[in-house]
Amino acid sequence: MDGDEIAGICFCSPQSGTDTSAGYVNSFAVLRPWRKRGLGLALLLHALRTFRDKGKVRAALHVDAQSLTGATRLYEKAGMHVDQLSHEYQLELKAGVDLTAK
């Protein structure tokens, strides 16, 4: 917090999917005016310490590797590394557009 304003958030879960030995970072964000000040790293390191203190041996999160915010660099700075890569396909559906195969 910065006064009454939220500067950043880090919401976590006590397990990653069915893996009870790993904590999971569900949502993580630092608002633009507070970026590049160390807040993101501080939040993430606090979460990782909390996981460790609760007996977790790993921590996980999902990130958009194409993000322009530098999120992947922050996670690597905290000691995290890529474990899996996945692809997501999307199609914007618009009303009135015929999507039937021809």
Which helix (H) or strand (E) is 46 found in, with range? helix 39-53
- For residue 56 the two structure tokens come to 């977790």
Q: What is the pLDDT of residue 90?
A: 87
Q: What is the pLDDT of residue 87?
A: 85
Query: With contact defined as beta carbons under 8 Å apart, do 37 and 56 qualify?
Result: no
Structural domains present in the chain:
1-102 (3.40.630.30)
Integer Rg of the chain from CA? 18
Query: With contact defined as beta carbons under 8 Å apart, do 59 and 80 qualify?
Result: yes
Nearest by Cα to 82 from 90, 71, 92: 71
Please give the span between the terminal C-alpha atoms of the chain, in angstroms, as a whole number: 55
Q: Residue 59 CB: number of other CB atoms within 10 A?
A: 21
Q: What is the pLDDT of residue 23?
A: 97
Give the predicted TM-score (pTM) of the model.
0.82
Walk along the chain (102 residues) and give the pLDDT tens digit of each residue. Answer: 999 999 999 999 999 999 999 999 999 999 999 999 999 999 999 999 999 999 999 999 999 888 888 899 999 999 999 998 888 888 888 877 777 766
Q: What is the pLDDT of residue 102?
A: 62
Query: With contact defined as beta carbons under 8 Å apart, do 10 and 48 qualify?
Result: no
Q: What is the pLDDT of residue 77?
A: 95
